[in-house]
C-alpha cells in the first residue's frame, strides 16, 4: 500500500503533489494544468524521460503544452522504444513526428486534435481510446498491427492514404463524425466488425489486398466504396437484408454491395454474389424512387417486375408465385362471371364450376390449348391477357433459373 507521501496511482513511485486532493503526483493529477508553471513542469519532465529513453507515461495527465509543441519533440529521441501511454489524458493538440517503436495508447483520452500525418508506426494499439477532437493519420504507415478496437472517435477520423502493412482492426469502434479511409491500403486482413459509423464513411479507392470484414457494422450516414478494390480470391463481408440492415436507408450501400459482389464472383462464390447483387439492385431501385419522386410511372414497372416479380434475376421462386397468383386470379374471374363453356352453342347458358375454371386458367396460362373449354365471346380478351402473362412469366422464370443455377 502506498504511503501518504507517495502517489496514489498504482505502480507510481513519484511523490504525491500537495495540491492534488486525491494524493496523486504532479504528472498524474488532473489539476496540473491549472497554471502555466505546473504545465511546463509536466512537459519538462516528460521530455527528460524521453531523452533518457524512458518513454513510459501510463496514466499521465498532459495539460495543454504552453510552448505549443505537444508530442512533436517528446519522443524525438525515443523512436526505437515501446512508448506507453495507457490511460493517459492529453489536453490541447497532440502531434507526433516519427515513431518506429510500438505505441500503446489503450484507453487513452485525447481531448484536442490528434495530428499525426505521415507518421511511421511499427505497431500501435489505441484500444478503447477516446478521440474528442479530429484524429488526423493521413498518409501514416503502420508496419505491424494497428488496433483501434473499441476506440471512440467523437469528431472526424482521417485515415486517408494510410498504409496498413499488417493487420488493421477497428472492431466495435465508434465513428461519430466522418470516417475517411479513402485511398488507404490494407495489405493484410482488416476488420470493422460491429463498428458504428455515425457520419459519412468514405472508402473510395481503398485497396483491400486480403480479407475485410464489416459483419455487424452499421452505417448511419452516407457511405461510399467508389473505386475500391479487393484482391482476386479475397473476401469482403457485409450484412445483407433481411438478416440485418447495415445501412442508414434502403437507398444506401450500392457501392459496398457491388464491391462485395465482384469479390465473391471472382472467387467463385456465386451464391453469395447473388445475395450481394440483389441487395445492390434494391439500393439502386430505392435511389431511383427517391430521385424520381411522384413520377411513379418511371419507377413503378421496375419495382413491380424487376424486384417483386423477377427478383433482379436472383429470386426465380417469386416468378412461380406470381404465376400461381395469375392462374388463381383469372380462374376465379372466369368462375364468378361464368366466362367459359365446353360448347359454343351453349355459350350464354353454361355455368362452369370452380375446378373447371381453374383447369381452363392453367391451360390458358401455359398456352396448351386443349380445346375442351373455350372462353365465351365476351371473355376472349381476358383469356388473351392471361395467355400473354403466362408467356412472359414462363420466359422470365427460365431466364432467372438459368442465371441462378447454371453459372
**pLDDT for residue 329:** 94
Residue pLDDT tens, the chain, 407 long: 445 689 999 989 899 999 999 999 999 999 999 999 999 999 889 888 877 778 889 999 999 888 876 664 555 444 556 788 999 999 988 776 655 668 899 999 999 888 887 788 888 999 999 999 999 999 999 988 899 999 999 999 999 999 999 999 999 999 999 999 999 999 999 999 999 999 999 999 999 999 999 999 999 999 999 999 999 999 999 999 877 889 988 778 999 999 999 999 898 888 888 889 888 888 877 767 666 666 654 545 555 555 556 666 677 777 788 888 988 999 999 999 988 988 766 666 788 899 999 999 999 989 888 888 889 888 889 999 989 988 888 887 777 677 666 55
DSSP 143: S
**pLDDT for residue 252:** 87
Taking a C-beta distance cutoff of 8 angstroms, is the pair 367, 392 a contact? no
Residue 110 backbone phi and psi in degrees, to 5: -110, 110
**pLDDT for residue 345:** 60
Exposure of 310 in the CB half-sphere (CA atoms within 13 A): 19
Residue 221 has a CB neighbour count (10 Å cut-off) of 18
Taking a C-beta distance cutoff of 8 angstroms, is the pair 246, 224 a contact? no
**pLDDT for residue 241:** 85
Instruction: Determine the Cα–Cα distance for residues 310 and 334; give it in Å rounded to an integer.
Output: 27
Taking a C-beta distance cutoff of 8 angstroms, is the pair 255, 229 a contact? no
**pLDDT for residue 1:** 42
**pLDDT for residue 305:** 59
Residue 382: strand, helix, or coil = helix
CATH number of the structural domain 315-405? 1.10.287.70
In sequence order, which ranges of 17-129 are alpha helices (DSSP H)? 36-51
C-alpha cell at 78: 525515443
Per-residue burial over 315-341, b = 16 or more CB atoms within 10 Å of its CB, e = otherwise: bbebbeebbeebbeebbeebbeebbbb
Residue 313 has a CB neighbour count (10 Å cut-off) of 18
Taking CA 149 as the corner, what is the angle to CA 250 and CA 60, rounded to the nearest 5 degrees? 135
Amino acid at each position: 500500500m502506498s504511503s501518504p507521501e507517495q502517489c496514489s496511482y498504482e505502480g507510481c513511485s513519484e511523490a504525491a503533489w500537495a495540491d492534488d486532493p486525491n494524493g496523486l503526483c504532479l504528472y498524474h493529477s488532473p489539476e496540473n494544468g491549472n497554471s502555466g508553471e505546473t504545465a511546463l513542469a509536466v512537459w519538462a519532465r516528460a521530455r527528460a524521460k524521453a531523452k533518457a529513453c524512458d518513454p513510459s507515461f501510463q496514466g499521465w495527465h498532459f495539460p495543454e503544452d504552453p510552448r505549443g509543441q505537444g508530442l512533436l519533440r517528446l519522443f524525438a529521441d525515443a523512436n526505437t522504444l515501446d512508448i506507453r501511454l495507457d490511460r493517459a489524458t492529453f489536453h490541447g493538440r497532440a502531434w507526433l513526428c516519427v515513431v518506429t517503436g510500438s505505441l500503446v495508447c489503450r484507453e487513452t483520452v485525447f481531448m484536442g486534435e490528434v495530428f499525426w500525418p505521415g507518421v511511421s508506426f511499427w505497431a500501435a494499439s489505441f484500444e478503447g481510446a477516446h478521440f474528442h477532437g479530429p484524429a488526423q493519420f493521413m498518409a501514416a504507415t503502420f508496419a505491424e498491427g494497428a488496433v483501434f478496437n473499441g476506440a471512440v472517435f467523437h469528431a472526424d477520423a482521417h485515415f486517408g492514404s494510410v498504409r496498413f502493412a499488417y493487420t488493421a482492426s477497428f472492431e466495435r469502434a465508434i465513428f461519430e463524425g466522418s470516417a475517411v479511409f479513402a485511398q488507404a491500403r490494407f495489405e493484410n486482413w482488416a476488420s470493422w466488425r460491429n463498428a458504428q459509423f455515425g457520419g459519412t464513411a468514405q472508402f473510395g479507392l481503398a485497396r483491400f489486398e486480403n480479407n475485410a470484414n464489416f459483419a455487424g457494422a452499421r452505417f448511419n450516414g452516407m457511405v461510399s466504396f467508389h473505386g475500391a478494390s479487393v484482391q482476386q480470391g479475397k473476401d469482403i463481408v457485409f450484412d445483407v437484408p433481411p438478416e440485418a440492415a447495415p445501412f442508414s436507408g434502403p437507398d444506401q450501400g450500392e457501392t459496398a454491395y457491388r464491391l462485395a459482389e465482384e469479390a465473391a464472383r471472382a472467387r467463385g462464390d456465386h451464391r453469395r454474389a447473388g445475395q450481394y447483387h440483389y441487395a445492390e439492385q434494391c439500393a439502386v431501385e430505392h435511389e431511383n424512387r427517391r430521385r424520381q419522386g411522384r413520377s411513379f410511372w418511371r419507377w413503378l414497372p421496375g419495382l413491380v417486375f424487376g424486384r417483386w416479380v423477377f427478383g433482379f434475376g436472383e429470386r426465380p421462386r417469386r416468378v412461380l408465385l406470381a404465376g400461381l397468383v395469375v392462374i388463381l386470379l383469372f380462374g376465379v374471374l372466369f368462375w364468378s362471371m361464368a366466362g367459359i363453356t365446353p360448347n359454343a352453342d351453349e355459350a350464354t347458358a353454361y355455368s362452369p364450376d370452380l375446378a373447371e375454371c381453374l383447369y381452363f386458367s392453367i391451360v390458358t396460362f401455359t398456352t396448351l390449348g386443349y380445346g375442351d373449354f373455350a372462353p365465351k365471346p365476351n371473355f376472349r380478351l381476358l383469356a388473351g391477357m392471361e395467355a400473354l402473362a403466362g408467356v412472359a412469366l414462363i420466359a422470365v422464370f427460365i431466364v432467372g433459373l438459368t442465371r441462378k443455377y447454371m453459372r
